[in-house]
Amino acid sequence: MKTIEIALYEFEELTENGREKALQEYAYFNVDDDWWRNVYEDAKMVGIELNSFDLYRSNYCNGDFIKNAISCAKLICLNHGENTETYKISDKFINCPNVTEDDELNFRDLLLGAYLKLLKHEYEYLTSEEGIIDTIKPNDYLFMVDGSKGNKLERLARTIKVSTKDKTNQ
C-alpha cells in the first residue's frame, strides 16, 4: 500500500504566483453557464424579451417589447432606480408628447443598447479578478501549492476513504 499526501490550500493561503494561477484556472468559470440569465430576467420583468446578443464583433442585443412600449416604460420607471440608464431612457419616452411608431422603435433600440451595456458590465465583472475571487472564497475552493485546482483531489480522497471503510466493514 502507498500513502500519498497532498497539501491543499485555500485561495488566501497561496503565494502570489499561486493566486495568479488559480485566477487563470477559473478565468471563465463564472461565464461557462448561462451567466446572462439575470439580465434577461430583468428585461422580461419590465416587458422586454431579449432574444440574442453578441458582446464581441457584432456588438448587438436583439429583442422586442412583450406588450408595448408604454407599458414597458412604466414598468421600468416603477422597478429601476432613477439613476439607471434604462430609467432615464424610459422617463424621457413617457414624457414625450405624441409618441409615434418611430419613437417607439427608437425607444426600443435605446433600451436594447442599455441592456447590451448591462450584459457587457456583467460579463466583465464575472471574468474580472474581483468576480472570480468573489466566487472562489465563499465556495471554499481548494488549490494545490502552485494554484492548480484541488477540489477534485479532495473529493477523490473522500470517496476512496469511504470505499475503503465500506470494504473493511463488510
Q: What is the pLDDT of residues 70-125, one digit of tens each?
A: 999 999 999 999 999 999 999 999 998 899 999 999 999 999 999 999 999 999 99
**Helix locations, the chain, DSSP H:** 16-25, 37-45, 69-79, 85-94, 101-126, 129-136, 151-169
For residue 72, is it within any domain? yes
Q: What is the percent of the chain with per-residue pLDDT over 70, rounded to a whole number?
A: 90
pLDDT, residue 2, reads 79
Shared-domain flag, residues 62 and 18: no
The answer to whether residue 134 sits within a structural domain is no
Do both 110 and 167 map to the same domain? no
By C-alpha distance, which of 120, 107, 39 is closest to 72? Answer: 107
Domain of 84 in residue numbering reads as 33-126
Residues 147, 115 share a domain: no
On the question of pLDDT at 159 being above 90, the answer is no
Mean pLDDT confidence for 145-159: 78
Give domain status of residue 133, yes or no.
no
Same domain? 71 vs 109: yes
CB 96, CB 126: distance < 8 Å: no
| Residues 6, 40 within the same domain | no
In a domain, 73, yes or no: yes
Task: Say if 135 falls within a structural domain.
Answer: no
Does 99 share its domain with 152?
no
Tell me the one-letter amino acid at 39.
V
- Which amino acid, one-letter code, is at 169? N
170 has pLDDT over 70: no
When pLDDT is averaged across residues 124-153 and rounded to a whole number, the result is: 91
Averaged over 129-149, what is the pLDDT? Answer: 93
- Are residues 162 and 122 part of one domain? no
Burial class (CB in 10 A: 0-12, 13-18, 19+), 115: buried
| Confidence category of residue 24, pLDDT binned at 50, 70, 90 | very high
SS3 32: coil
Cβ partners under 8 Å of residue 30, min gap 6: 126, 127, 131, 132, 135
Same structural domain, 105 and 67: yes
Same domain, 12 and 83: no
The number of folded domains in the chain is 2
Domain identity same for 8 and 56: no
Residue 164 lies in a domain: yes
Q: What do you get for the CA distance between the two ends of the chain, in Å?
A: 20
Share of the chain above pLDDT 90, in %: 78
Please give the pLDDT value at position 167. Answer: 44
Same domain, 110 and 46: yes
Are 46 and 72 contacting, i.e. CB atoms less than 8 angstroms apart? yes
Which pLDDT belongs to residue 162?
47
pLDDT for 165 = 47
Q: Are 90 and 72 in contact (CB under 8 A)?
A: yes
Closest to 112 measured CA to CA, from 54, 74, 62, 38: 62
pLDDT band at residue 3, thresholds of 50, 70 and 90?
A: confident
Looking at the fold, whether 120 and 147 belong to one and the same domain comes out as no
